[in-house]
Structure 1
Amino acid sequence: MTSAQGKQARNDSRPQQVDSPDEGYRRGLTSRQIQMMAIGGAIGTGLFYGSSTVIAQIGPSVIACYAAAGVIIFLIMRALGELMTYRLTSGSFADYAREFCGPFLGFTTGWSYWLAWTVGCMAEVTAAGHYIAYWWPAVPVWATAGVALLVLFVANIVSVKLFGELEFWFATVKVVAILALIVIGIGILTFGFSTLGHTASVQHLWTDGGFAPHGAWQSMLAMHGIVFAYLGIELVGLTAGEAKNPKETLRKAINTLPVRIAVFYIGALIILLSVLSWTKYTPGVSPFVQVLASVGIPGAAGIMNFVVLTAALSACNSGIYSAGRMLRGLAVSGEAPAAMKRLSDRRLPLPAVVLSTLIMGLGVIVNVVSPDKAFVYITSVNVYAGMWTWAMILVSHLRYRAKARAGILPTVGFRMPGAPVTNWLALLCLTFVAILMGTSSDTRLGLYVWVIWFVVMIAGYQLARRRASR
């Protein structure tokens, strides 16, 4: 080995500092893992845990709300897919906002997406603590939440391959469990077995007070919980820097989204609300656990509780991954402390992951201060941050399409259907949900935090500009 080669080898073993959001990452995520990550992002605590509260609020109309939100989510993902086909980058949301909407909105989008995942992980570990209380009710929620966060942090700093494999099996458990529930539910409805057999009926969807028992307006007010259920579905956009054959893999993940929504959300909810009347569901208790506890299969409720626990852990696992990559991307762009762009000898953004996880630990403190309201408060902040990211994807796509029509930028084959009309429709829906959340006392906190956060972003951007000029 020459002295130059020896020097290069030593440099490769040290933490690396690079100037591109994609540079330096090891492509350790396979197509199999990314496909399951796409499914895992679409099935989380919002469905397994939060849906019980929404069902209790609006009854069977929850199905229509999930379907309507699913259409908007698909449009957002197709817009993202077109942008990624035009130019692939692991810092996707912030990079596209920076390119098409200006440096300030790029700065705000990057930090807001980081906020969405750090706060989202607080909600996930909170839910995990409640699930574990099913077996050990004497253990405080904050304690089990803290242990869960620590375990997932360790998994994220070992290797990206371990993260991908862990996420693959988490998602597999969720998929198998929901499919099993659907099969069991169809069996109950068709053959009438189990203790629910004599009362189960699809007529529960319209006979127990009607399809929307509290009216259409009340159904709209519950959209906050439904939007939260879909947050994280855009995670595949951050895997570009560590995915093998990224364009082909990500296109496939996006195109199969309608099937995943139809089966895992709409299908599961139809079964849940048919085998058991919506009036029987208890807010704060997983509807999946409630159904299997009522079926009479020995140990079924405990098994399903384990499944919903893995759903929360899966979402938090993805959140640590996403927050770390986004924070590093901000540092590479000069919008976060330079120390955050360093990579470990395993090609992982270790400082960014460590800092993000420490911030997530604040969720444990929230559970100590306000255990009853912690989940609602955390998710309201999470939804505002997540919807900002979705809105910037749509606006960036609008700007890209305008430049493509003008011949300034190339067009691509993977296009968002109905644009630009569908862009404006999706933006209108997101704005409507944001306004509705501001009218509710439980979710208004998210609006207050978002206003404060935007002021912080203005100050932070000015600080970053002064530092860059120096």
Structure 2
Amino acid sequence: MSAHPAQTAKPNTRPGELGSPGSGDNGGLQAGLKNRHLSMIAIGGVIGAGLFVGSGAGIAAAGPAILLAYALVGTMVVFVMRMLGEMAAARPSSGSFSAYADQALGRWAGFSIGWLYWFFWVVVLAVEATAGAKILEGWIPAVPQWGWALIVMLVLTVTNLASVSSYGEFEFWFAGIKVVAIGAFVIIGLLAVFGVLPGSDNPGAGFAHLSDIGGFFPKGYGAVLTGVLMVVFSFMGSEIVTLAAGESEDPQRAVTKATNSVIWRIGIFYLGSIFIVLTLLPWNDKSIVADGGSYVAALNSIGIPHAGQIMNVIVLTAVLSCLNSGLYTASRMAFSLGRRKDAPRAFTKVSKRGVPQVAILSSVVFGFVAVFFNYMWPETVFQFLLNSSGAVALFVWLVICFTQLRMRGMILRDDPSKLVVKMWLFPYLTWATIAMISFVLVYMLTDDDGRTQVLLSLLVAALVVGIALVREVVQKRNGTHPGSRPTQDAMARIGTNESVTRS
């Protein structure tokens, strides 16, 4: 009873109601992320290792038309981020879209999408830890690959346990390296494209390579859709900034800034860098799909010495960034689920440094188990984990769209002044985005790999939704159901964050 009310979660706190989730004397999450942290997280959030090493396959499949695939998916992400930004600016929350789905669609929706998102990111932890370990083993083979994976996971776990500002500082520098690297790549590449880069080995063909071998659509118009399937998942992570904003100094400003900048971020880092690759090399150049990837091939064409090793450093940075953010994101989602009584209450336990230590450790343990599966049964158990989480990104985006359809009216009824970010042409663009995402999911069923991912992801999603619905029935029967909607008064108290206690 001696704990301050702002340091202990109230037993009867409703979903979305303001109140710290701390336990005992531990207090709540701390607003330790500075504006510069949020800015770099927002910029780097859309740059994953997949852009550096996976873009070559898309270029080989669609030719120069892969630019249209990136543009289509980028447009879809811009719309989704705009919708999420509208909700997050009005009601910053550590649970982000899961908390909003809880309020707008029902507790089953918040429970389901929250756990699916957590599952997605803990699987990503294993994927990225393995990718980073392969690079490090190549540099220092004396340490086995599993040893490097263990070291990487442990270092970033300690970082996340230290404080949220430690996470923010690491991510600031990790994302900064990626941003500087791609910016330099675009500038140097443009100079080489026009033949004005001193000492360049590239012939400087201008824009000729965009159409000189089979035209702009060498594989046909349908190849653009194939390209969409290959690039859509490289955009996952854009939404991280809305979760992190809840632990920032000025959540509303951070979300607004990140949402408004998403267009140029995607334009420069995705479309810009792929455009440079396509103008430096013919799209069917075999080096584009070599082990080093399309960026290494482009750097080699310019004559940059040690291009492969330079790119390995950048890819390792991207991997560590993804691991760092993945662990942060998974733990905060678990924390939010715990606050809403959709996960063990232990997940809401916060250390004196203001971090949800149990949620972090639980997430990293599952990540370690997934790494073990990757080494022991890569073609069976781990492949199932990969496929069953493969389409979760699209499910998350769909839920964001449907949530925003309901949440707009709730925000207007509660406090219209909080609607500082607005989705364009509401509700028409929202419905158009739903149609785009649904089309991608249906089209994935025509692709062998995509079909497996969609069906297994749907199976896991159905299982989670089933558990959510059964929980509601049991809770209602036992009289323990907390209600599917927060009251108007509770919603009005969402204010700056559902979970942040400022010190």
**TM > 0.5 fold call:** yes
Give the counterpart of 2:327 among 305, 320, 323: 320
Q: What residue number does 1:247 align with?
A: 252
Q: What residue number does 2:122 align with?
A: 118
Asked whether the 8 Å contact 1:16–1:345 carries over to 2, the reply is no
Give the counterpart of 1:419 among 423, 426, 429: 426
The structure with the greater share of residues assigned to helix is 1
Q: What residue number does 1:67 align with?
A: 71
RMSD of the TM alignment (CA)?
2.8
The AA in structure 2 aligned to 1:247 is: Q
Q: Within 5 Å, which residues of 2 pair with 1:45-60? A: 45-60=49-64
Asked whether the 8 Å contact 2:191–2:197 carries over to 1, the reply is yes
Asked whether the 8 Å contact 1:58–1:218 carries over to 2, the reply is yes
Are 2:227 and 1:216 aligned?
A: no
**Structure 1 runs not aligned, ≥5 long:** none
Q: What residue number does 1:42 align with?
A: 46
> Structure 1 260/408 Cα, relative in aligned 2: closer, same or farther at 3 Å?
closer
CA distance in structure 2 between the aligned counterparts of 1:162 and 1:422, rounded to whole angstroms: 38
- More displaced stretch, 160-169 vs 437-446: 437-446
CA shift, 1:42, in A, is 1.0
SS in 2 for 1:155: helix
CA distance in structure 1 between the aligned counterparts of 2:289 and 2:167, rounded to whole angstroms: 34
CA shift, 1:246, in A, is 0.8
Q: What residue number does 1:90 align with?
A: 94
CA shift, 1:285, in A, is 3.4
**Structure 2 runs not aligned, ≥5 long:** 21-27, 481-503
Asked whether the 8 Å contact 2:89–2:255 carries over to 1, the reply is no
Q: What residue number does 2:23 align with?
A: none
CA distance in structure 1 between the aligned counterparts of 2:387 and 2:116, rounded to whole angstroms: 14
TM normalised by structure 1 equals: 0.89
Asked whether the 8 Å contact 1:126–1:363 carries over to 2, the reply is no
What are the Cα deviations for residues 214-251 of structure 1, in whole angstroms up to 9, with x where unaligned?
12222212323311111000101102331101101210
Q: What residue number does 1:292 align with?
A: 299
Are 2:229 and 1:229 aligned?
A: no
The AA in structure 2 aligned to 1:317 is: N
Give the counterpart of 1:104 among 102, 108, 133: 108
- More displaced stretch, 170-179 vs 84-93: 84-93
CA distance in structure 2 between the aligned counterparts of 1:230 and 1:271, rounded to whole angstroms: 19
> Structure 1 22/274 Cα, relative in aligned 2: closer, same or farther at 3 Å?
farther
- More displaced stretch, 444-453 vs 386-395: 444-453
Q: What residue number does 1:169 align with?
A: 173
CA shift, 1:116, in A, is 2.2
Give the counterpart of 1:399 among 406, 410, 423: 406
Asked whether the 8 Å contact 1:56–1:283 carries over to 2, the reply is no
SS in 2 for 1:278: coil
Give the counterpart of 2:270 among 253, 265, 271: 265
Q: What residue number does 2:212 align with?
A: 207
SS in 1 for 2:85: helix
Asked whether the 8 Å contact 2:389–2:457 carries over to 1, the reply is no
Asked whether the 8 Å contact 1:325–1:349 carries over to 2, the reply is yes
> Structure 1 256/352 Cα, relative in aligned 2: closer, same or farther at 3 Å?
same
What are the Cα deviations for residues 56-90 of structure 1, in whole angstroms up to 9, with x where unaligned?
22121111111111111111111111112332222
Asked whether the 8 Å contact 2:202–2:303 carries over to 1, the reply is no
SS in 1 for 2:343: coil
Asked whether the 8 Å contact 1:227–1:383 carries over to 2, the reply is no
Are 2:416 and 1:410 aligned?
A: yes
CA distance in structure 1 between the aligned counterparts of 2:326 and 2:239, rounded to whole angstroms: 11
What are the Cα deviations for residues 409-456 of structure 1, in whole angstroms up to 9, with x where unaligned?
636232111111111111111111112222222233322321321232
